[in-house]
Structures are given as C-alpha cells and as structure tokens.
Structure 1
Amino acid sequence: MSGRTQRFCQALDLVDSEEKIAEYQRLHQRIWPEVAAHIRQHGVVDMEIYRLGTRLFMILEVDERFDGERFNQAALNNPIVQRWEEQMWQYQKPTPWTASGEKWVAMARIFSLQDQ
C-alpha cells in the first residue's frame, strides 16, 4: 500500500425528532462490529460523521483499495449491513437535493486552502 488516501464528503438528513436524533447518536457510539469490518475491508481507513441540527456531514478517508461501486454492491449482498441500513432509515431521510433511491450524497468541494 502506498499510504495515499482520498477524501469524500457526503451529506444526509435526520428525521426532525429529538428522541430519534439522540437514539441515532447513541447507536453510532459503537456500531455493529460486522458493519465496521465491512467498511474497513473495502479500503475505508477513517470515517467521521458530524451533525448540525438535522443535517449530517460524513468524511470518508479511503485508500487505493476503495472502489465505490464494489463497496455498494458488497453492502447490498451483506445481510447484516442491510439490516443496519434498514434500521438507520428509521432516523435518516434524504436531503432536498438527493435523487430518488439514494441516501448519502456527495458534496462538492468549493474551497481548499492548499490551492491558495
């Protein structure tokens, strides 16, 4: 491995319910080990989720093993990951800019200090 990483930033919304938001945050204090293993085995070396109100912002750091299409297909074929995703939909909802059938959507980078 070269150690080179790439960053992806994505957004998703939460259902506007204090109880559901609190439960979503609680569930993310320790996600299911099989879900964490699935994420790691596909080249995700770090993942962070931030929240402002009902808006979630996720940062993915991936290495050269990461292939988004393969990652998504493997998730669809993993019954434990599918159960996790189904449970998470109780708390999540698409942003107003999310296409039908999608969940987390990529955000466009508009500024980088390194480019200045």
Structure 2
Amino acid sequence: MTRGSVYTVKISGDAGLRAAQDIALSLRQALTGHDRVAIATEAISGADITTIQLLLAANRQARDTGKSLFLAAPPSGVLRALLIEVGCLDANGHPLTPDGDFWTQSARPGEGKPA
C-alpha cells in the first residue's frame, strides 16, 4: 500500500451506466491499494446520474476506510454540465448539496502530485 503519494484513476470516454462496473472496479482497486486517490475526469465524453452516484459512493467508501479520494481538477466539460443540470453545482461551479465539497476540492499544494 502506498502511503504518501497520490494514485490517479483516469476516467475517459463514456462514464455512464454501461461503464459503471468497470469504473467502480478501478476505484475499488485504487482505494484498496492506496491511501490517497485522485480521479482525473477531464477526458469524460459522456456521463449520466450513474456517474455522479458512482463517484459519491467511492468518496463515501474512502471516508469510511480512512482514505482520501478527490478530483484531480475541478469538474469540466460533460461532467460539470451534468453536475449543474442535476443541481449539485450552480452555474458558477459552487456546491449546492451537502456533499458538494467533493466536486469543488482537488489536490492542494503540498498534498503530493498525482501518480
């Protein structure tokens, strides 16, 4: 298990329902093997409510196991548009839900670099 460094899971292409099992497996494996996991979402070309539910579930799993999961960069493109559409973020990218800080936090200086 890697303790100090950040491991990055890159999600690309369609991240909707059809890809959910594969993405969930990647996130579970990353959280099993690493204490700090970043999720790179900028290459997502398709997303739906399943994408949001999957990422929030992974975040809860990380918290429950004492690990850190965060977005490598603020959501953009398709994911950002979906988060605004479903009411997780406002048009300026500010959180509107209790778990909204997950969408707006990313790696901070001194927390390591994505692997």
Higher relative contact order (CA 8 A, sep 6+): 1
Larger Rg: 1
Normalized per residue, the structure richer in strand is: 1
Q: TM-score scaled by structure 2?
A: 0.30
Normalized per residue, the structure richer in helix is: 2
